[in-house]
Amino acid sequence: MTGATLAEVLAAAKTENRAALIGYLPVGYPDVGLSIDAMRAMVDGGADIIEVGVPYSDPGMDGPTIQAAVEPAVKAGVGLREVFAAVSAVRAAGAVPVVMSYWNPIAKYGVSRFAGSLAEAGGAGAITPDLIPDEAADWLAASDANQLERVFLVAPSSTDVRVKSTAAASRGFVYAASTMGVTGTRSAVSETATRLVSRVRQLAPEIAVCVGLGVSNADQAAEVAAFADGVIVGSAFVRCLLDSPDQAGVRAAGSLAGQLSDGVRRR
């Protein structure tokens, strides 16, 4: 890996008295080139970190908006080769890229091979929503060997023991899923998010906590930024391309990033 890490970007944002903006897009919708263009536009708009999504045929955590973009990408045969190209493009654009992937595509590709290819492409690490640390021995070893960060998830239902073990295994940040259920934009930030972040910080004060699931506008971003180290936005960016699967959608993603970037800077 070359360039800044997740931990470094989050620490830098903290010195600026703000949260980091983390944007997600899957590679391949409406095609690979436009999805990468949209990621670059998000960086230009102010995103600090880009979650580069791996298209997957059974995205259990993803709501209908993300599924609508991922399914055509899967049918088009978009895979990790295109994901690594997107990672390199995001790094070149000036943001920190982290792959967001369910475990099966990584296991099928080969865990050690994946880690090496990701590091070579300039990726900071990977978020693995359906992998728990107890079952991640191969990934822990491969990520350590390639100096990659690894992000595991906690939820409102996580026990204190689970929160501690997840934080101990994570590098970069812990992903706090603020609601139970699948991804998607929501009209209000879940009240459980503040409590979850507070609990993680009490149990694991050494690691940053970023909040995802539901943020869709600048006001919500500002609300989450008041208590979290990073604000994660996915479905709202995907919606930009679903509504306009062309350069207009790319511009809309960049504009949304600008609005959200302003949001995380409110105090």
Which of the residues are catalytic? 51, 62
Question: Could you tell me the CA-to-CA distances from 3 to 8, 14, 82, 123 in Å, in that order?
Answer: 10, 19, 20, 9
Check: CB of residue 41 under 8 Å from CB of residue 95.
no
